[in-house]
Amino acid sequence: MQADSRQEPRREPPIDGGATPWWLDDLLRSAAAAATRTSLASVPAAEPRRPPSGTRGDYASALALRIAGAVGLPAEALAADIAAELRLSPHVVSAAAEGRGFVNVTLTPRARVSLVRAACGANYLMGYRPAPADRGGRAAAAWALTPLHAAETVVRAREWAREDARRRMVLAAGADGADDSGARPSETPAEASGGVARRTGPGAPGRAGAAGPGGSAGPRYYSGPPPSWGSSGRAADEVTEVTWRDPYLDEPPGESDAARLLAVLGEASARFAFCRSAPEHPRAGELTGPGLPALPTAEEPGNWERHTAANPGFAVRYAHAHAVRTRAWAADLGFVPSRAVAEVGSGAGARGGALADDAVAALDEPLAAALAGCLFDGPGVLSAAAGRRQPHILVRYLEGVATAYHDWRESCTAVPTSVATDAARGEVVMARLELCAAVAGVLRTGLSLLGVPAPTRL
């Protein structure tokens, strides 16, 4: 990076698409370019993150540390210069240098909550990436799930489930290792491990119409790309009905250890359990939480077989169903988003009219703001999980979103018992429904990357 005397005027990125991680990245990079008198193209990604609890600011970036050497300035001084440029933005309340070169930023409440509507976009978690072209069916095949009931052992089934999640995360995040077509590696986990080779067409294991447990059709709704990918609308307005039923729980178990486990847990809980722990080879008896074995068995399933909050997989799926049904209850009472607000996606999430002051205040309440902060983290979490090939990172993130959602919903009445006659109250309800929509979209996409369906009814 070199100073440029012909530097272009400082560019303020428009906030039309909401205060997304990408907008904030642009804002920080623009401030750094102005502070160092360099071109914007020469400034690397700012990678803003939410700072630890108790730290000043909504977001923090180590950009000054990253470029200090290249511009020949101390990181602390450069961070102060970047903060000074940020304070010129109408969307910034305060910005300050912290530590040895971090920049902490606090946005205005209106800018901060604009993320909620942006996160309603169908592809938000995946960074609004377009769906890859399906060349000869290769992209669709890349998303196919390995049939866990074909594994002889639970250990092998766990390996396959984790490999499925890794491949799908990489495809969704566009991480290194996925080609433009989204094609999967030449071998499936089963094939690479000497297991059952995957067939294509009718009767293929794990596909629609496949022979599953007891010879019946196996799961039909796990195998494709995230349901929102390639959509041009709102994630929450394009929900396909998904039930809680799991075919493995409805049929006699198979003979292998893996098949017997699936008959106890169901595929959804099994995949969630298999992806929750960090170690690739957990120790015997290792737990990932109270009553949650890293390697459950049919004889010792732990809380993974429960349909209660003690089962994190159930809790995440329940949060999705609750968010979806909340919007359905509201629609029954006449709370329907305007057409302008409904048409979000492809990064244009905050368009469709400014939020009323009461709506901004509702979304900036502490628990609502904490939930919105979780949504901000999502794309970065997926990128990290895909880059490191560690599905447990995504699992723990989804659990955090579900917990934040339940905390928020218990603190407020998102849907009144009748249509609000007060216009301000109506704006508050609509804003809270936007937050429900964003949560549902993020949870549904994240679960689909794990190969887990997101039920839509309680």
For the chain, what is the domain count? 3
- Is 115 inside any structural domain? no
Q: How far is residue 16 from each of residues 20, 113, 321, 364, measured CA to CA in Å?
A: 10, 12, 30, 19
The pLDDT value recorded for residue 115 is 96
Regarding whether 190 and 92 lie in a shared domain, the answer is no
The pLDDT value recorded for residue 206 is 37
Distance of CA 137 to the CA centre of its chain: 26
Number of other residues whose CB lies within 10 A of the CB of residue 205: 21
- Is 234 inside any structural domain? yes
Regarding whether 292 and 252 lie in a shared domain, the answer is yes
Would you put residue 430 in left (φ > 0), alpha (ψ -120 to 50) or beta? alpha
The pLDDT value recorded for residue 414 is 73
Regarding whether 205 and 293 lie in a shared domain, the answer is yes
Regarding whether 173 and 285 lie in a shared domain, the answer is yes
The pLDDT value recorded for residue 188 is 46
pLDDT tens per residue, the chain (458 residues)?
655 545 555 677 888 889 999 999 999 999 999 999 999 999 999 999 999 888 899 999 999 999 999 999 999 999 999 999 999 999 999 999 999 999 999 999 999 999 999 998 778 999 887 666 666 567 777 889 999 999 999 999 999 999 999 999 999 988 654 544 333 333 444 444 443 333 233 233 333 333 444 444 444 344 566 765 544 444 445 568 899 999 899 888 888 999 999 999 999 999 999 999 999 999 999 999 999 999 999 999 999 999 999 999 999 999 999 999 999 988 888 887 654 344 444 444 444 568 899 999 999 999 999 999 999 999 999 999 999 999 999 999 999 999 999 999 999 877 766 665 567 788 899 999 999 999 999 999 999 999 999 999 98
Which CATH number belongs to the domain containing residue 371 in this structure? 1.10.730.10
Regarding whether 320 and 300 lie in a shared domain, the answer is no
Question: What range does the domain containing 46 cover?
Answer: 21-107
| Tens digits of residue pLDDT in 145-194 | 999 999 999 999 999 999 999 999 999 988 654 544 333 333 444 444 44
- Is 118 inside any structural domain? no
Regarding whether 152 and 100 lie in a shared domain, the answer is no
Reported pTM: 0.85
Regarding whether 343 and 283 lie in a shared domain, the answer is no
- Is 454 inside any structural domain? no
- Is 340 inside any structural domain? yes
Regarding whether 325 and 297 lie in a shared domain, the answer is no
- Is 408 inside any structural domain? yes
Pick the last residue of a domain from 107, 125, 157. Answer: 107
The pLDDT value recorded for residue 29 is 97
- Is 432 inside any structural domain? yes
Regarding whether 329 and 269 lie in a shared domain, the answer is no
On the 0-12 / 13-18 / 19+ scale of CB atoms within 10 A, 152 is middle
**402, 319 Cβ separation under 8 angstroms:** yes
Regarding whether 40 and 144 lie in a shared domain, the answer is no
Regarding whether 249 and 167 lie in a shared domain, the answer is yes
Half-sphere exposure of 21 (CA within 13 A, CB side): 25
Regarding whether 268 and 352 lie in a shared domain, the answer is no
Which CATH number belongs to the domain containing residue 103 in this structure? 3.30.1360.70
- Is 163 inside any structural domain? yes
Pick the last residue of a domain from 256, 284, 304. Answer: 304
Pick the last residue of a domain from 257, 281, 304. Answer: 304
